[in-house]
């Protein structure tokens, strides 16, 4: 292989690496945006829920945990906690 071919391959590999990192960052920000929407939905729905008091108490604890996880940057766990909280109060997720 000539040096120019090696340089082209290096440049191509760098482009691929940048694309992969970019896709990862976009996915992370998508999760980050989902958490606030779930928290907002919970805050709205909990005011009108007909769920049992003990379920509402558990759901509020999960909602608080979800917000804490969101702030810590663990959006997948945050989303799960928030969706579980919404299910406990009978909301559509």
Report pLDDT digits (tens) over 65-82. Answer: 999 999 999 999 999 999
Largest CA distance in the chain: 73
Report whether 31 contacts 72 (CB < 8 A).
Answer: no
Question: Does the pLDDT of residue 32 top 60, yes or no?
Answer: no
d(CA 76, CA 23): 16
CA angle 61, 64, 68 (to 5 degrees): 135
**Domain encompassing residue 10:** 3-88
- Residue 58 belongs to a domain: yes
Neighbours of 13 (CB within 10 A): 10
Whole-prediction pTM value? 0.67
| Domains contained in the chain, number | 1
pLDDT class of 23 with cuts at 50, 70, 90: low
- Residue 93 belongs to a domain: no
């Amino acid at each position: 292989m000539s040096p120019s071919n090696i340089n082209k391959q290096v440049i191509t590999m760098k482009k691929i690496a940048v694309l992969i990192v970019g896709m990862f960052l976009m996915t992370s920000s998508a999760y980050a945006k989902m958490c606030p929407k779930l928290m907002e939905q919970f805050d709205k729905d909990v005011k009108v829920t007909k769920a049992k008091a003990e379920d509402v108490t558990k759901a509020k604890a999960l909602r608080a945990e979800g917000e804490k996880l969101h702030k810590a940057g663990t959006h997948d766990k945050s989303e799960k906690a928030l969706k579980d909280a919404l299910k406990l109060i009978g909301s559509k997720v």
